[in-house]
Structures are given as structure tokens and as C-alpha cells.
Amino acid sequence: MSTANNDVNNNDANNEGLIIVSEEACKSVIDRPSAFIAVENVFASMASGDAYNFPVIREAIGYADALYGFKSGFDKKGKSLGLKSGGYWPGNAAKGLTNHQSTIFLFNPDNGKLRALVGGNYLTAVRTAAASSVSIAHLARKDSKVLGMVGAGHQSTFQLRAALEQRSFEKVVAWNKDADQLGNLKAVADEAGIPFESVDREQLCAEADVIITITSAFEPLLMKDWIKPGTHIACMGTDTVGKQEVDADLMAVATVFTDEIAQSISLGETQHAIKAGTIKESDITPIGAVINGDHAGRSNDDEITLFDGTGVGLQDLAVASAAAKLAVEKGEAQHISL
């Protein structure tokens, strides 16, 4: 990642001005493998102390039922400094827009100058999918055959496509509050030639070896007693105080990993278990420790593993830096002077 960021920062010397990378350019230059590598690398840097996130600001603005905020950080190793500004507008889908709206700002850490504006909607989806994909790669049983999907919103298809690349899944089972919305997930499974079935939540837990939750729920959707031994769960929807996707008691019987502990216990899925006292902060391990080889990850085939993917600013900076570098190289970036 350091090469990518240095190339972007070196535009100062070349007097190329501010780099603009559109949503379409991001889709053109960033694919799932490149997002996976960027996210895996930044998780490793975080665990080794080479990168850190700044406190998150996320608030209900009291208008349009929207949540708005900032995620930011600095990767000293990769020289990524910046922030993502945006949030969640639940009424956007009815207007033909993506509910999640965001823009990523990259700064040169050597002098503080704004270096790039990068469209954040597509990158948010692919970096979130990459995070759960990284957790599957490092924590799920190698012989996992059934993938369970909970939620069928905009990000769910990104999650499914990325997950299918990590194990030799033979079936996809899915649940959504409105089952009529599961068509997009079925289409992805059909493309991959994998059987797809709409099921209730308890049956999903009984069948699935890997479960991804990607909802905006404020109550547990999966209960502890439903989860079978050996399951890996990637909780990807909880990123705000009060949100919740799984039973807090599940944390007590699972080995818990996260992208960042501080964010996990304050606004991630573990916030509820911490408050209830069913786990302690010391029970949570950064996924980067597994990537770096400092933690064994899964210890046996009966262990339940859970990844709390809260979504950290450094993920956004990592994929945005890669997008800016590739867009410049491929002639898909615009340049302006402020």
C-alpha cells in the first residue's frame, strides 16, 4: 500500500493538482481481489501498531431520518491520511439512489495538502465485503459448504460475491425481513451455479457453516441456541450505538474477533455483550493479529468464531488510495487545481 499512497502524494511534486476519482472510475479500477488485499494489509498494520483510527463521529441529524458522520485515520506504514464523510439515508432507495452516501478525502501526510477526492459509495460496499471475506479466509472451517446470508440490502450482493471466493460453498441459504427482496441474492447464486434457498432464521443457523449478517437491525436476529458448533459468523451491519444483529449471549460461547476493539465495544456488535457483562474487552482479538500470525485464529472444528466488522476509516483510506493510484495509472482520474 505504501507505493500506492506515495504515488498519490508525489503529485505535489508533479504539480498535477487535486485528483478526482469518480464512482465509475472506482468501479473500473477496484475489483474484489484488490479490495481484499488492501483491507487485509491495513488490518495487519493496525494490529502491529503502524496504523490507527481516529474517534468516529456519527449522529442522527434530525432530518430525513439520516445518520451522518466521519471516519478517519492514519496509516504510518502506507502513508494514508484522510477521512470518509457520509452516512445513511433510508429514503434514498425510493428515489433510485443508494442509501449509503459517502466521499473519501485523502491528504498528503508530509504537508497536509488535500491530494484526492474519491467517490465512496462503491468503495464502501467492496471494502465491507472484503472485511467479511478476510474473516472467512482466516477463521472459517476449510470444509465449510453452506453459506447463510441474513439481509438483502444493497451491500448483500457484494458480500455474497466476495464470500463465495473464499470457500467451496455448495449451497446458499438466506433470510430477509421482506423475502421478496431476496431475488438479487438468488441471481448471484445462480450466476455462480450454486443452489439457493429462502429459509427462516432458525433453519439458516441449523444449516449454515458460515453466516454473514448485513442489516440495519436494532434487535437480535440470530439467537445463541440456534448456532451450531463450528460456525463462523461475520456480523457486518452494526456500526452505530444501539444497533444489534445477534444475541449478546452468543458472544460468551464464541471466540470473538473484530477490526478494531475500541470501535467494536462502543458501537459494534460487541457493545451489547460488554454492557451485559457476558464478555470482557480482553476477550476480543483484532483480526490483524491472526493475519500477522500472533493469534492462531480458529483452534478446532467445533469452535464458534465471530467477526465483528464495524467498518473502520482505515479500510476506506486503503481502498481509496489504491483506487487513486490505479485511476491515475489508467488515465481515469481527473485533475483540478484548488
Question: What is the Cα–Cα distance from 239 to 114, expressed in whole angstroms?
Answer: 27
- Residue identified by cell 490507527 is 52
Give, in degrees to the nearest 5, the angle at Cα 159 between 156 and 165.
145
Nearest 10 degrees: Cα torsion 25, 75, 82, 312: 80
Question: What is the Cα–Cα distance from 176 to 185, expressed in whole angstroms?
Answer: 10
Question: What is the Cα–Cα distance from 304 to 93, expressed in whole angstroms?
Answer: 35
Q: Closest by alpha carbon to 51, among 267, 318, 290, 319?
A: 318
Is the CB of residue 117 less than 8 Å from the CB of residue 11? no
Is the CB of residue 162 less than 8 Å from the CB of residue 140? no
Catalytic position from the list 84, 224, 243, 325: 84
Q: Closest by alpha carbon to 311, among 184, 132, 150?
A: 132
Is the CB of residue 254 less than 8 Å from the CB of residue 228? no
Active site includes 224? no
Question: What is the Cα–Cα distance from 159 to 137, expressed in whole angstroms?
Answer: 13
Question: What is the Cα–Cα distance from 252 to 50, expressed in whole angstroms?
Answer: 30
Which residues are CB-neighbours of 150 under 8 A, at least 6 positions away? 174, 175, 176, 201, 204, 211, 212, 213, 214, 215, 221, 222, 245
Write out the catalytic residue numbers. 84
